[in-house]
């Protein structure tokens, strides 16, 4: 009986990362930062693309344990 070894083919497709464990922490200067895992932020479907820094709108509802983070949209000027 002979055994044939088949080499594993590495997939070029990245695994979709739509959630991850981040962290909210307070800096010594009193500012708060939200850390996002690298795999999440670099996923092809991540909504904030091609930017090192982006203004965001953060919303929460009283009694809820969720934050909603959206791109900041300037109000239209008249």
What is the rounded distance in angstroms from the CA atom of residue 75 to the CA atom of residue 56?
13
Sign of CA dihedral 33, 39, 45, 48: positive
17 contacts 47 by C-beta, under 8 angstroms: no
pLDDT at residue 6 is higher than 70: no
Q: Would you place residue 53 in the very low, low, confident or very high pLDDT band (cuts 50, 70, 90)? A: confident
- Predicted confidence band of residue 19 (pLDDT cuts 50, 70, 90): confident
Q: How far apart are CA 65 and CA 4, in angstroms?
A: 54
CA-based end-to-end distance of the chain: 81
This prediction's pTM: 0.63
């Amino acid at each position: 009986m002979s055994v044939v070894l088949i080499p594993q083919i590495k997939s070029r497709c990245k695994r979709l990362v739509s959630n991850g464990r981040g962290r909210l922490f307070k800096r010594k200067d009193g500012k708060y930062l939200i850390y996002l895992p690298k795999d999440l932020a670099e996923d092809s479907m991540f909504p904030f693309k091609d930017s090192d820094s982006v203004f965001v709108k953060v919303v929460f509802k009283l009694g809820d344990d969720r934050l909603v983070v959206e791109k900041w949209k300037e109000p239209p000027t008249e």
